[in-house]
RNA sequence: GCCCUCGUGGUGAAAUUGGUAGACACAAAGGACUUAAAAUCCUUGCCGCUUGCGGAGUGCCAGUUCGAGUCUGGCCGAGGGCACCA
């Protein structure tokens, strides 16, 4: 019997899909749409296993939805602006454009080799002027709407990448890409006013039922809404500043105020600008947060001023005013009051500078005074030491009451603060979308007129310059706008802008006039299922949500603010790590093993240390090249394996044994296919075996449910069971009709997972039955007649399992139980105290 | 420090709403076939008594329940997110 030749067969079908544009999609208003989108890749040069997993998950869904009769949009494109191209180009003296285009060509071939059901006619690339022209238009539109602005601000400066980073792109004080310690620098920057939509972005999360809870919580925390109050403290001894405004979430602890603390960037700092000791303190503060040590220590430091503030609730109470390193200018008002008894940080500060600590909340039922030593009391309780607030329940009653009093006395007002800050989008890099802005000779902002768009990047320039290469492009920078000489902005846009609207572009990829077409958007959007890594939980997903808000702002153009209806975050692909005796990483290709336990270096035969399994990364050399694996085992086998071992949302371990297992399984399925074909061909006369039809029917139900819930690993197990079932069954004669009808459905169930294989099988099978590409329906009548295994328990312990017809009555079952030999031993001479009967599940007899 | 998630055989994992724990695979050991190997197939979680059966068993300790991997409380451990956010 012939082996399954995946090389020939996969090539054959991929060619057929390509020539026929099998997955080309168009608007069809008679059909329900389904938009499947996986996060598009950066064209780094080669696809990796993470891509294989991501795109296979999406492809299974897309093919399943297609079979269900949906009009499926499943596009692919390239997130093709960004630093790696620029760095690679610098190193090899290339043009980033050429480098990128070459990579796209290679990766496109690799993706096609996976057999994905993608509408390649919709392919887009963000570095193409056809794409970023529209982005520039959006930029100007948002500028007109007041959602883009320029200001001088402290920025996160990445000294390695020589660029500015957004807050979201700084991780543990380091650049998300370079890993370099981020510095603080003051620069003129462009910003998107994302904080204007804080409330919308927060509230919108509530309606995203098909998003992982984890991601929603992360975004909630990032937006960081806090409810509190602004309070004005009068200064006793200052001519220039009469008041200091602070923000607090605990106005109810105001009587326990020990001090005021200000950021060193607070306007009041002006009073001390000539004081060298203050300057020294300030310099110390700016360093904090930029060195690793300082981050670890995080010592609370203060600079005591001569200023004295009066407690607004009782002006006879006076508190000192400090500058403190832990108060940030860009949150609240850059000033706080210290509630030493009820905030650990404030208490530490008060102890350090020997300030009074007056507790004003004590736990319920606590008698006498609360003694605060070195731990602040932050729990709930009763207010005391607070005159008119005494006796209130903290915090739920007391906070609201305190705010009411503060507002009545005009000492301040209710205030909601957000942690979310505006999105800095300027990057001092060449390989990004040019910002369509110029400056006249007065340095006024001049919009580049629409007819001059796109502002394209200059090509074939010298990238080995200090700082931004565009700064050195004198000819490119000089332009004329309305006969006026202007200079182009040389910063380019953060590449996260590119990916903030690409899902819209996929709906109208060829529209020359605008980024999208309203009719297309109204039909295709939102994305029904978005699939990608959880590492984008905040950055990309929040930015995309903002972009939808921004495009709809004021105009409400498509009456839709959430781009992604369903979100699925898949786990990573992991592999063991290996190190040689010098602690150098070794790749799986560089080692060998005789027994699968000990590993040796191929180079020098020396023993290799086996490390824990970690997510595949080039730096640890624990990667497996998908291309090689596909060449060895075929795309279907790889798809099957990457779906089989773990739930898609969890990390999966790459294992050669597992990969081989999937390959063998395909071969076994092929033999099963041949067996089916042979039996049908022989036209044998056999049993009209109803059990087979029932089995297939319940399999359809199981797999359909599992598909709806992304339980792909369980489906693969279902397939193995199916194989075992039929492999046995086919040893006995079965009627042709049963064989044809059941095998037809089995092939359909397999199709989303191993499409090349099933296409080939279908082609052979089509001589027996006309093929349609529909998902099999569950026959509900058949489900009713099933037999079920019913568990018999005595005193809660399983004693017997009876196979009975579905929906058996309690009495009927009891008859069987009483006559069962095994059970008799347990109930003989005993009294049945209680019977618990759960239909089709269990009967539990309590005996004594 | 705060927030979230997860703890099931040697391994990856199954177990719709509380109702057969370990499906399905990987690995290892034993066995069958073979001159031999590969391939293939069968058996095997633990503790007892030979088979069959009985007992314990889902990180630990309690609780609710006829019945808990699943629910509640406490503890331990792992992973992830945020971090001077007032």
- Name the nucleotide nearest A224; use CA and C1': B85
Q: Straight-line distance from CA A172 to C1' B83, in Å?
A: 9
Residue nearest to nucleotide B12 (CA to C1'): A645
Q: Check residue A293 and give its pLDDT.
A: 41
Q: Straight-line distance from CA A801 to C1' B22, in Å?
A: 18
Q: Straight-line distance from CA A379 to C1' B62, in Å?
A: 26
- Name the nucleotide nearest A716; use CA and C1': B24
- Name the nucleotide nearest A571; use CA and C1': B80
Q: Straight-line distance from CA A729 to C1' B24, in Å?
A: 19
Q: Straight-line distance from CA A812 to C1' B65, in Å?
A: 26
- Name the nucleotide nearest A327; use CA and C1': B84
Q: Check residue A717 and give its pLDDT.
A: 95
The answer to whether residues A414 and A407 touch, using CB atoms and an 8 Å cutoff, is yes
CA distance A653 to A614: 9
Say how many Å lie between the first and final Cα of chain A, rounded.
63
- The answer to whether residue A348 scores a pLDDT higher than 70 is yes
- The answer to whether residue A434 scores a pLDDT higher than 80 is yes
Q: Phi first, then psi: give them for residue A427, nearest 5 degrees.
A: -130, 135
Residue nearest to nucleotide B20 (CA to C1'): A791
Residue A625's region, left for phi above 0, alpha for psi from -120 to 50, else beta, is beta
For chain A, give the mean pLDDT: 91
Residue nearest to nucleotide B11 (CA to C1'): A653
Average pLDDT (A158-185) is: 77
Q: Straight-line distance from CA A708 to C1' B16, in Å?
A: 13
Q: Is A298 helix (H, G, I), strand (E, B) or coil?
A: coil
The first and second tokens of residue A566, run together, are 């369903």
Q: Straight-line distance from CA A223 to C1' B85, in Å?
A: 11
Average pLDDT (A255-274) is: 93
- The answer to whether residue A480 scores a pLDDT higher than 80 is yes
Residue nearest to nucleotide B21 (CA to C1'): A798
Q: How far is CA A123 from the centre of its chain?
A: 23
- The answer to whether residue A51 scores a pLDDT higher than 80 is yes
Per-residue model confidence as pLDDT tens digits over A83-92 = 889 989 988 8
Q: Check residue A292 and give its pLDDT.
A: 41
Average pLDDT (A460-489) is: 91
Q: Straight-line distance from CA A358 to C1' B86, in Å?
A: 18
Q: Check residue A291 and give its pLDDT.
A: 41
Residue nearest to nucleotide B68 (CA to C1'): A796
Task: Check residues A702 and A297 and name the one with the higher pLDDT.
Answer: A702
Confidence of residue A689 (pLDDT cuts 50, 70, 90): confident
Nearest C-alpha neighbor of A549 from the set A195, A221, A144: A195
Please name the residue ranges forming H helices in A411-562. Answer: 474-477, 495-498, 502-505, 518-524, 539-552
- Name the nucleotide nearest A838; use CA and C1': B19
The answer to whether residues A488 and A459 touch, using CB atoms and an 8 Å cutoff, is no
- The answer to whether residue A631 scores a pLDDT higher than 70 is yes
Residue nearest to nucleotide B2 (CA to C1'): A221
Residue nearest to nucleotide B84 (CA to C1'): A326
- Name the nucleotide nearest A338; use CA and C1': B86
- The answer to whether residue A213 scores a pLDDT higher than 60 is yes
Is residue A270 classed exposed, middle or buried when 0-12, 13-18 and 19+ CB atoms within 10 A define those classes? exposed
Q: Straight-line distance from CA A652 to C1' B77, in Å?
A: 22
Stretch among A203-212, A328-337, A370-379, A518-527 having the lowest mean pLDDT: A370-379
- The answer to whether residue A248 scores a pLDDT higher than 90 is yes
Q: Straight-line distance from CA A664 to C1' B35, in Å?
A: 28
CA distance A82 to A159: 17
Angle between helices A755-765 and A656-681 (to 10 degrees): 10
Confidence of residue A170 (pLDDT cuts 50, 70, 90): confident
Q: Straight-line distance from CA A718 to C1' B76, in Å?
A: 37
Q: Straight-line distance from CA A638 to C1' B71, in Å?
A: 40
Q: Straight-line distance from CA A671 to C1' B36, in Å?
A: 28
Sign of CA pseudo-dihedral A176, A180, A184, A187: negative
CA distance A254 to A258: 9
CA distance A634 to A753: 13
Q: Check residue A543 and give its pLDDT.
A: 96
Q: Straight-line distance from CA A52 to C1' B34, in Å?
A: 41
Is the pTM for the entire model greater than 0.90? yes
Q: Check residue A290 and give its pLDDT.
A: 44
Confidence of residue A298 (pLDDT cuts 50, 70, 90): low
- Name the nucleotide nearest A641; use CA and C1': B25
- The answer to whether residue A486 scores a pLDDT higher than 90 is yes
Residue nearest to nucleotide B27 (CA to C1'): A657
- Name the nucleotide nearest A698; use CA and C1': B16
Partners of A228 in beta bridges: A415
Give, as one character, the DSSP assignment of residue A527: B
Q: How far is CA A225 from the centre of its chain?
A: 21
Per-residue model confidence as pLDDT tens digits over A764-780 = 999 999 999 899 999 98
Per-residue model confidence as pLDDT tens digits over A137-168 = 999 999 999 999 999 887 788 888 778 877 77
Nearest C-alpha neighbor of A233 from the set A224, A241, A223: A241
- The answer to whether residue A684 scores a pLDDT higher than 70 is yes
- Name the nucleotide nearest A842; use CA and C1': B19
Q: How far is CA A208 from the centre of its chain?
A: 14
Residue nearest to nucleotide B4 (CA to C1'): A214
Q: How far is CA A740 from the centre of its chain?
A: 44
Q: Check residue A596 and give its pLDDT.
A: 65
Confidence of residue A295 (pLDDT cuts 50, 70, 90): very low
Confidence of residue A171 (pLDDT cuts 50, 70, 90): confident
- The answer to whether residue A61 scores a pLDDT higher than 50 is yes
Average pLDDT (A612-624) is: 88
- Name the nucleotide nearest A645; use CA and C1': B12
Q: Check residue A155 and give its pLDDT.
A: 79
Q: Straight-line distance from CA A115 to C1' B83, in Å?
A: 44
- Name the nucleotide nearest A657; use CA and C1': B26
Q: Check residue A823 and give its pLDDT.
A: 81
Q: Straight-line distance from CA A214 to C1' B80, in Å?
A: 10
Q: Check residue A446 and give its pLDDT.
A: 95
Q: Straight-line distance from CA A727 to C1' B10, in Å?
A: 30
Q: Check residue A738 and give its pLDDT.
A: 92
Confidence of residue A33 (pLDDT cuts 50, 70, 90): very high
Count the alpha carbons within 13 Å of A375 in the hemisphere toward its beta carbon.
3
Average pLDDT (A428-455) is: 94
- Name the nucleotide nearest A246; use CA and C1': B86
- The answer to whether residue A130 scores a pLDDT higher than 90 is yes
Angle between helices A635-644 and A755-765 (to 10 degrees): 120
The first and second tokens of residue A16, run together, are 């057929």
- The answer to whether residue A2 scores a pLDDT higher than 70 is no
Q: Which nucleotides of B are covered by protein (CB under 7 A)?
A: 1, 3-5, 11-16, 19-21, 23-28, 39-40, 53-56, 66-68, 80-86
Q: Check residue A365 and give its pLDDT.
A: 82
Per-residue model confidence as pLDDT tens digits over A582-614 = 888 889 888 887 666 678 888 888 888 888 888
Q: Check residue A848 and give its pLDDT.
A: 77
Q: Check residue A122 and give its pLDDT.
A: 97
Residue nearest to nucleotide B67 (CA to C1'): A796
Stretch among A152-166, A392-406, A461-475 having the lowest mean pLDDT: A152-166
Confidence of residue A42 (pLDDT cuts 50, 70, 90): very high
Buried b vs exposed e over A762-799: b needs ≥16 C-beta within 10 Å? beebeebeeeeeebbeeeeebeeeeeeebebbbeeeeb
- Name the nucleotide nearest A789; use CA and C1': B20
**Prediction ipTM score:** 0.94
- Name the nucleotide nearest A172; use CA and C1': B83
Q: Straight-line distance from CA A842 to C1' B53, in Å?
A: 22
CA distances from A93 to A87, A457, A461, A462 (A): 10, 17, 10, 9
């Amino acid at each position: 019997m012939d082996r399954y030749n995946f090389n020939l067969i996969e090539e054959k079908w991929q060619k057929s899909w390509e020539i026929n544009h099998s997955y080309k999609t168009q608007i069809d208003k008679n059909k329900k749409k389904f938009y499947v989108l996986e996060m598009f890749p950066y064209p780094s040069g080669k696809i990796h296993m993470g891509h294989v997993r991501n795109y296979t998950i999406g492809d299974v869904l897309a093919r399943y939805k297609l079979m269900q009769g949906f009009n499926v949009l499943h596009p692919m494109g390239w997130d093709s602006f960004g630093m790696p191209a620029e760095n690679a180009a610098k190193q090899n003296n290339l043009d980033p454009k050429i480098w990128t285009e070459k990579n796209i060509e290679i990766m496109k071939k690799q993706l096609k080799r996976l057999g994905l059901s993608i509408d390649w006619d919709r392919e887009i690339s963000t570095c193409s002027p056809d794409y970023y022209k529209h982005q520039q238009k959006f930029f100007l539109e948002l500028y007109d709407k007041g959602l883009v602005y320029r200001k001088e601000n402290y920025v996160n400066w990445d000294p390695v990448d020589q660029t500015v980073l957004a807050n979201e792109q700084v991780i543990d004080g380091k650049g998300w890409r370079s890993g370099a310690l981020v510095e603080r620098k003051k620069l003129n920057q462009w910003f998107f006013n994302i904080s204007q939509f804080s409330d919308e972005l927060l509230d919108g999360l509530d309606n995203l039922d098909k998003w992982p809870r984890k991601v929603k919580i992360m975004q909630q925390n990032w937006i960081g809404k806090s409810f509190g109050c602004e309070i004005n403290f009068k200064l006793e001894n200052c001519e220039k500043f009469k008041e200091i405004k602070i923000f607090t979430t605990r106005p109810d602890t105001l009587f326990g105020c020990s001090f005021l603390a200000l950021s060193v960037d607070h306007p009041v700092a002006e009073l001390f600008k000539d004081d060298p000791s203050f300057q020294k303190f300030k310099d110390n503060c700016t360093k904090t947060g930029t060195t690793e040590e300082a981050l670890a220590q995080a010592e609370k430091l203060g600079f005591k001023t001569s200023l004295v503030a009066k407690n607004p609730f009782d002006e006879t109470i006076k508190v000192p005013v400090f500058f403190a390193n832990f108060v940030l200018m860009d949150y609240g008002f850059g000033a706080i009051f210290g509630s030493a008894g009820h905030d650990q940080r404030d208490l530490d500060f008060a102890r350090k500078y020997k300030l009074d600590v007056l507790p004003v909340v004590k736990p319920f039922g606590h008698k006498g005074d609360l003694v605060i030593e070195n731990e602040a009391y932050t729990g709930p309780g009763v207010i005391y030491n607070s005159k008119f607030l005494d006796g209130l329940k903290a915090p739920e009653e007391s906070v609201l009451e305190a705010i009411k009093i503060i507002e009545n006395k005009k000492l301040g007002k209710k205030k909601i603060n957000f942690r979310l800050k505006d999105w800095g989008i300027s990057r001092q890099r060449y390989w990004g979308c040019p910002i369509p802005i110029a400056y006249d000779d007065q340095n006024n902002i001049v919009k580049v007129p629409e007819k001059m768009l796109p502002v394209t990047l200059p090509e074939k320039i010298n990238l080995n310059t200090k700082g931004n290469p565009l700064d050195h492009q004198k000819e490119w920078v000089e332009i004329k706008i309305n006969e006026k000489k202007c200079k182009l902005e040389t910063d380019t846009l953060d590449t996260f802008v590119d990916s903030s609207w690409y899902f819209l572009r996929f709906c109208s990829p060829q529209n020359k006039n605008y980024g999208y077409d309203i009719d297309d958007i109204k039909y295709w959007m939102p994305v029904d299922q978005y699939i990608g890594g959880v590492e984008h939980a905040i950055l990309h997903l929040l930015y995309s949500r903002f972009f939808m808000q921004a495009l709809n702002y004021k105009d409400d153009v498509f009456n839709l603010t959430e781009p992604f209806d369903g979100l699925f975050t898949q786990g990573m692909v992991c592999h063991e790590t290996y190190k040689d005796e010098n602690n150098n990483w070794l790749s799986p290709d560089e080692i060998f093993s005789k027994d699968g336990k000990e590993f040796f270096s191929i180079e020098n035969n020396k023993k290799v240390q086996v490390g824990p399994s970690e997510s595949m990364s080039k730096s640890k050399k624990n990667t497996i090249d998908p291309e090689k694996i596909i060449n060895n085992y075929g795309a279907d086998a790889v798809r099957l394996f990457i779906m089989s071992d773990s739930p898609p949302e969890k990390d999966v371990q790459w294992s050669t044994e597992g990969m081989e297992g999937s390959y063998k399984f395909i071969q076994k399925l092929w033999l099963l296919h041949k067996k089916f074909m042979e039996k049908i061909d022989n036209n044998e006369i056999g049993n009209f075996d109803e059990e087979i039809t029932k089995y297939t029917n319940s399999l359809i139900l199981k797999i359909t449910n599992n598909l709806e819930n992304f339980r792909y690993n369980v489906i693969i197990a279902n397939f193995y069971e199916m194989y075992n079932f039929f492999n046995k069954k086919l040893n006995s004669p079965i009627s042709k009709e049963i064989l044809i009808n059941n095998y037809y459905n089995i092939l359909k169930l397999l199709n989303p997972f191993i499409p090349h294989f099933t296409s080939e099988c279908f082609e052979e099978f089509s001589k027996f039955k006309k093929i349609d590409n529909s998902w099999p329906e569950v026959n509900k009548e058949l489900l009713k007649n099933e037999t079920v295994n019913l568990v018999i328990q005595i005193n809660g312990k399983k004693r017997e399992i009876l196979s009975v017809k579905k929906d058996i009555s309690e009495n009927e079952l009891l008859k069987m139980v009483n006559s069962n030999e095994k059970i008799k031993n347990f109930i003989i001479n005993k009294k049945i105290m209680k019977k618990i009967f759960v239909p089709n599940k269990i009967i539990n007899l309590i005996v004594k």
